[in-house]
């Protein structure tokens, strides 16, 4: 039982590694055009990568909950959790954004002129996530909340983007297929992860309404948005989370 939280953390890492495999696995096939054979690579199955990030987020919640329940918190568990998070909620979102940028540029009129550097900004996400997690491990101020946007929130939001493209509202899916929108998303998340803006924890530790007003507000409004936004509700929850935290920081600074 002592190792159960670490096993759950490794489950998080396994889901993240498998999600990366799904993103990178692009089965090719031969197609003939004007008598010439071409190797065609369809879009990768990022749907399952998104699902695996969701499963990993549940495991990420459970490992800390179980560790506190069994009173077996340990320094190795804290370090292991960050190592798993940098893969699942840092590297995997970066790869998803890389593929989305590639697909969005391929739809542009000058697609044949697109170079590798046009997709490389997506890889800033895992870099900033790693820095944010290292900072978190050394910062004693982040016991009850966070300074900077937590990486699981970034990972879950980015993982919802492919699902928005498949099942979300057309206007939002169209926006997420524009490369400059994706660049803006990358810049915003990177900036917020390493910022000093306080972000409240969504883990409800007591049922007292007064101490959980903002988490309850995020949950209720997100549930109400599901019939309209479908999978876009995840992105809406993230946007609402950011707005509430930034507004609280500006209006009611500590």
Domains in the chain, start-ordered, CATH in brackets? Answer: 4-251 (1.20.120)
Cα separation, 36 vs 31, whole angstroms = 8
Cα separation, 45 vs 188, whole angstroms = 26
In tens digits, the chain (254 residues) has pLDDT values of 677 888 889 999 999 999 999 888 765 555 555 666 544 455 556 788 888 999 999 998 888 778 777 777 777 878 888 899 999 999 999 999 998 888 887 766 665 566 777 789 999 999 999 999 888 877 666 666 678 889 998 999 999 888 888 777 888 888 888 888 999 999 999 999 998 888 877 665 555 556 667 778 888 899 998 888 888 888 888 888 888 888 877 766 55
Burial class (CB in 10 A: 0-12, 13-18, 19+), 64: middle
Cα separation, 50 vs 231, whole angstroms = 11
Q: What is the pTM of this model?
A: 0.83
Judged by DSSP in three states, 220 sits in helix
């Amino acid at each position: 039982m002592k190792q159960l939280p670490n096993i759950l953390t490794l489950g998080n890492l396994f889901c993240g590694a498998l999600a990366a495999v799904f993103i990178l696995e692009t089965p090719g096939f031969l197609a003939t055009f004007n008598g010439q054979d071409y190797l065609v690579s369809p879009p990768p199955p990022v749907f399952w990568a998104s699902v695996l990030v969701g499963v990993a987020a549940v495991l990420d919640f459970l490992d800390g909950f179980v560790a506190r329940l069994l009173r077996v918190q340990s320094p190795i568990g804290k370090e292991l959790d960050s190592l798993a998070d940098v893969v699942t909620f840092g590297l995997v979102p970066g790869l998803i954004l890389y593929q989305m940028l590639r697909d969005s540029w391929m739809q542009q009129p000058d697609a044949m002129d697109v170079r590798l550097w046009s997709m490389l900004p997506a890889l800033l996400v895992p870099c900033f996530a790693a820095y944010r997690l290292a900072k978190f491990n050394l910062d004693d101020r982040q016991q009850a909340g966070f300074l900077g946007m937590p990486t699981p929130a970034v990972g879950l939001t980015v993982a919802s983007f492919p699902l928005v493209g498949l099942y979300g509202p057309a206007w939002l899916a169209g926006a997420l297929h524009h490369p400059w929108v994706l660049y803006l998303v990358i810049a915003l998340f990177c900036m917020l992860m390493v910022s000093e803006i306080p972000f409240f924890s969504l883990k409800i530790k007591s049922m007292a309404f007064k101490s959980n007003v903002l988490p309850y507000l995020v949950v209720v409004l997100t549930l109400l948005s599901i019939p309209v936004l479908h999978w876009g509700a995840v992105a809406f929850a993230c946007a609402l989370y950011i707005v509430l935290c930034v507004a609280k920081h500006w209006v009611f600074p500590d």
